[in-house]
Amino acid sequence: MFGLRGCPGVAGFGAVSKDLAEVLVAADTYSVSHEPVLLTAELYGTLALCLHDEERGVGGLLHLRFADASGRPTDATDNTLSCVLIVLDRFKSAVFGACARRDDVQARILAHASSAQGGTEPSASLVDLIKADLADGGVACGTQTLRRREGVQVHFEPFAGRVWISGLERVRADARRRRGL
């Protein structure tokens, strides 16, 4: 089941992913797996597209920037949009493979907009482009924009389709506790 869990309820999911290898997906890259791993992306002026093919038990996370380091939206030029389409096509091919059926595929876009930078939203053209591209292939896509001063971390289990978020401050505190600091 493809479901989103918010920051307050993340504790219940720790046991599900505790023993999974974690793969950090950097901005402007993607990762796809059918293995029991945990894909994570730190969102700050970026978005994550999570795709899950329930029938094949495969999924992936595509992590894209929509704001520069200062929090201002990046220009949605023809070149930028065509590059996004190329990466999106490669990502979809990696998730879908040769499978023509798309009715078992679920998609969600999660975006972070910093409240400290005036709430810069992801470029409507970028989100609309991704949603329209997926819709052309018969895949419905939900979206959610998270408005927070500090970034968030998206956690995605591609083989099961589970996705949830946590605040970066909690992630950093958990890492320090595991290292015994």
65: containing domain: 4-179
Q: Of 80, 181, 58, 57, which is closest to residue 130 (Cα–Cα)?
A: 80
Q: What is the DSSP code (8-state) at residue 73?
A: B
Query: Residue 157 and residue 107: Cα distance in Å, rounded?
Result: 13
Predicted local confidence at residue 121, as pLDDT: 61
Predicted local confidence at residue 58, as pLDDT: 92
Residue 114: which CATH number? 3.30.1330.200
- Angle (deg, nearest 10), helices 78-96 and 124-136: 40
pLDDT band at 117 (very low <50, low <70, confident <90, very high): low
Query: Residue 31 and residue 124: Cα distance in Å, rounded?
Result: 24
Question: Which tops the pLDDT comparison, 81 or 160?
Answer: 160
Predicted local confidence at residue 14, as pLDDT: 43
Domain count, the chain: 1
Q: What DSSP assignment string belongs to 133-147?
A: HHHHTT--EEEEEEE
Query: Residue 154 and residue 56: Cα distance in Å, rounded?
Result: 22
- A 10 A CB-CB count for 179 gives 7
